[in-house]
Structure 1
């Protein structure tokens, strides 16, 4: 068993424990392996251990990985690729052409460009709206008060499919404050589910806070460090 396999096993055990604690089914939680800055060899080890969902942050690096992996016979089942980093308008085309999901849409301009640049032969691009739940200036994301309006605009774009919301909460040792942020996100998520039948993804929770995220209703956790080690 490789070290990556051992780490994945530990993460899945944490997910199982967290869901059991709050009487949820572990199969409700999608594990997204965050492979930014990591070499293809480590992605391959995670793939051979059973993972198929991978998240990337940097456009040029990730597109090179995606194109290389397409030519590698060891990757026989398709990978579902998620772009989860801040996205500038001049870099939307390669993302629209290569990814299955974008979880970091925070304004209409980005959504419109992704829609217009999505190739016709590919299915609609799955979209999560990024919410700046903590209001920190250093973080991307729309505000809680703007989410519903942005969702309405994105849902009208034919080459995009609105699937939910994503957020990175403020880093804090105060568990009550952390879970308050997660609860606010879950409330918005439930409102979107009422409005849009295809909304099924609440992407929140990372290596350091997945238990609280699952407790508060997350359906997808983004795990990098606990699988691949610290960022290079």
Structure 2
């Protein structure tokens, strides 16, 4: 199978290794500043548009969890990397006609924002597999055209997902509006954390332990507000190519 994504140049493996070391240092510093244990948040390497060789380079540093946005691209890379014990997260927009393959080939889905999609994922998850880990995507800034449920609709959606047998509702995910202001970043992440807290109170038996939030430019703000899973792409693999 021929790779046709962002091809690495010579020396890319060492560059990726250096970048991951820097990102992990940032993560550790942010956790220390927040007074949190070093193991209370983990790194999800966002590998969309990157070749399998770049993922292998990241794996060589001990990175196991990878996030993909585009289904066909992800399936091809999964096939090329099936010799590695990787944990695959689907973090892209999810359409009804793609749910079967996502349900069968991923351990996590971060972008569930309506009951129809959740029900299809549950129905299509293979009986031999563990329940699919789910994060509900919230449109924290109420941006027009952006995916995600509203805070108002979140409790009802969570309740419906918790009833589905082949899903495990783990928490919430958001992609706030871009901002360079640290306090603005924190406010959006705080709203998501508070929403998760309300769900934990309402559904105490649910395994609601995950806040998927924070990327390369706002990792520190996300950690201060309780992120448990930070999605880092460009700070590891470099800037993505212009389509």
Partner of 1:215: 224
Partner of 1:198: 207
Question: For the residues of structure 2 that align with 1:48 and 1:174, how far apart are their CA atoms?
Answer: 35
More helix as a share of residues: 1
Deviation at 1:146, TM superposition (A): 1.0
SS of 1:26's equivalent in the other structure is: coil
SS of 2:211's equivalent in the other structure is: strand
Question: For the residues of structure 2 that align with 1:188 and 1:22, how far apart are their CA atoms?
Answer: 20
* Contact 2:46–2:233, Cα closer than 8 Å, also in 1: yes
| Residue from 125, 133, 136 that aligns with 2:132 | 125
1:20 lines up with 2:3 in the alignment = no
Partner of 2:63: 51
Structure-2-length-normalised TM-score: 0.91
Q: How many residues align?
A: 227
| Residue from 61, 73, 80 that aligns with 1:68 | 80
Question: For the residues of structure 2 that align with 1:200 and 1:231, how far apart are their CA atoms?
Answer: 31
Partner of 2:159: 152
| Residue from 144, 148, 151 that aligns with 1:141 | 148
Structure-1-length-normalised TM-score: 0.95
Structure 1: runs of 5+ lacking an equivalent = none
* Contact 2:169–2:206, Cα closer than 8 Å, also in 1: no
User: Map of 1:29-48 to 2, 5 A cutoff?
Assistant: 29-48=41-60
RMSD between aligned residues: 1.1
1:230 lines up with 2:211 in the alignment = no
